[in-house]
Amino acid sequence: MVRARTIFHEFLKAPNKVGAVVPSSRYLATAMLDQLNWDTLKNVVEYGPGTGAISKYLLQRVGDHQNLFAVELNESFIPVLNDRLPELQVFNESVGDIRQICDRQGIDWVDGIISGLPWTAFPESLQEELLSATLRVLAKGGQFITFAYLHGLPLQNARRFRSRLKETFSKVTISPVVWRNIPPAIFYSCRK
């Protein structure tokens, strides 16, 4: 209940930075994580874990030979994450700084990125900045997976973001609708 209240409160404060009114469902989380090739992953990053709805399932899948950390800019979510998922290493920084974070961690390349960022709420310049930062750390053949809410797909920012993904990555797959999420969502599975 604390997680849902925290997300809703943060959404009301800044809907262009927190795109959700409730945490993502386990159905969306597992569908997204099923897209990753867990046999070959070494370094995995979660962008915008919020209160840990997807992080919880990431932690269940990560093995001893894999490295996972998250990047969360909103400092209000950090205490919730630390309390709920103390084993998750979280950096209270911008995704735009992902290269510097990786360098501090001694990580050359990231194999998989799961994103909960509200990309379609971002202006084009921020979309571009964060995608460029992502490409600087994503390994060749690496996977970038992010979701979008069904009701927002017709909006200009959403259409622009989808086009940008298709221009940026060698392969972009769009999932079927995950109806068992509030609101219903799709996700993009992109390969560099």
Q: Please determine, for residue 69, whether its predicted confidence score (pLDDT) is greater than 60.
A: yes
Total residue count of the chain as it appears in this document: 192
Residue 173 banded pLDDT, cuts 50, 70, 90: very high
Separation of alpha carbons 50 and 24, rounded Å: 10
Between CA 51 and CA 56, with CA 53 as vertex, the angle to 5 degrees is: 105
Question: What does the mean pLDDT of the chain come to?
Answer: 89
Comparison of pLDDT for 19 and 168, the residue scoring more: 168
Q: What is the pLDDT of residues 83-110, one digit of tens each?
A: 999 999 999 999 999 999 999 999 999 9
Q: What is the pLDDT of residues 27-47, one digit of tens each?
A: 999 999 999 999 999 999 999
Q: Percentage of the chain surpassing pLDDT 90?
A: 81
Question: Across residues 39-63, what is the average pLDDT?
Answer: 95
Separation of alpha carbons 164 and 2, rounded Å: 35
Question: Across residues 46-54, what is the average pLDDT?
Answer: 95
92-122: string of b/e by CB count within 10 Å (b at 16+)?
eebbeebeebbeeeebeebbbbbbbbbbbbb
Q: Please determine, for residue 8, whether its predicted confidence score (pLDDT) is greater than 50.
A: no
pTM attached to this predicted model:
0.88
Q: Please determine, for residue 71, whether its predicted confidence score (pLDDT) is greater than 50.
A: yes
Under a CB-based contact definition with an 8 Å cutoff, are residues 91 and 72 in contact?
yes
Residue 3 banded pLDDT, cuts 50, 70, 90: very low
Question: Across residues 144-161, what is the average pLDDT?
Answer: 93
Q: In the chain, which residue ranges form alpha helices assigned H by DSSP?
A: 2-13, 26-33, 55-61, 78-84, 98-105, 124-137, 156-168
Q: Percentage of the chain surpassing pLDDT 70?
A: 89
Q: Which pLDDT belongs to residue 22?
A: 62
The domains found in the chain, sorted by start residue, are 2-191 (3.40.50.150)
Question: Across residues 133-139, what is the average pLDDT?
Answer: 98
Between CA 87 and CA 24, with CA 29 as vertex, the angle to 5 degrees is: 95
